Chain A
Amino acid sequence: NAGVTQTPKFRVLKTGQSMTLLCAQDMNHEYMYWYRQDPGMGLRLIHYSVGEGTTAKGEVPDGYNVSRLKKQNFLLGLESAAPSQTSVYFCASKREDLRYYGYTFGSGTRLTVV
Chain B
Amino acid sequence: TQLLEQSPQFLSIQEGENLTVYCNSSSVFSSLQWYRQEPGEGPVLLVTVVTGGEVKKLKRLTFQFGDARKDSSLHITAAQPGDTGLYLCAPIRGHVNRDDKIIFGKGTRLHILP
Contact = CB atoms under 8 A, between A and B. Distances in A.
Interface string B93-106: 00011111111111
Given A90-B42, A107-B40, A99 B31 contact: yes
Interface residues of B, number: 25
Nearest to A108: B42
Contacts of A59: 103
Nearest to B47: A102
What's the dominant secondary structure at chain A's contact region? mixed
Given A50-B100, A98-B97, A92 B92 contact: no
Interface in A56-114: 56, 58-59, 90, 92, 96-103, 105-108
B88 interface: yes
Interface string B12-48: 0000000000000000000101010000111111001
A102 B91 CA distance: 12
11 contacts: A33-B101, A42-B107, A43-B88, A43-B104, A50-B100, A56-B100, A96-B97, A96-B98, A98-B33, A103-B45, A105-B43
